[in-house]
Structure 1
């Protein structure tokens, strides 16, 4: 299961990098979009289904709150204004 997730993550990373070559918005905001992309990949690779199965939601809750807080802080630091 984990190997399949890693293969899909690798394929989607290649697709993401190819898209950044052709889409101007992704080129302009590459760092910010990449941070959100990496966050999505990391969340996809976490074994949350296992912890739900053994009913230990504390581990999932701590990781989820930490990840969302981290993304919020990074977003607030990188987004400086509305100049588009």
Structure 2
């Protein structure tokens, strides 16, 4: 597995690569402004197959010491099945 990408914004990391359409839909939903409040989530998207099926435990050891964000979103099988 590659090191976690260094991004300006917190990252949504794709861990399930079974449905490209579902991934595109998720990215679109996250990137869309919430019209009621005018809020726009600033997120980066990681779409690297080397992170396929990554678990939080496995990812934790890959977070570099200089990582500047307080969270990482893992888009896994559960994300796309519920």
Task: Assess same fold via TM > 0.5.
Answer: no
- TM-score of the pair, normalised by structure 1: 0.32
Which of 1 and 2 has greater Rg?
A: 1
- TM-score of the pair, normalised by structure 2: 0.33
More helix by share: 1
Q: Which has the higher contact order (CA 8 A, sep 6+)?
A: 2
More strand by share: 2
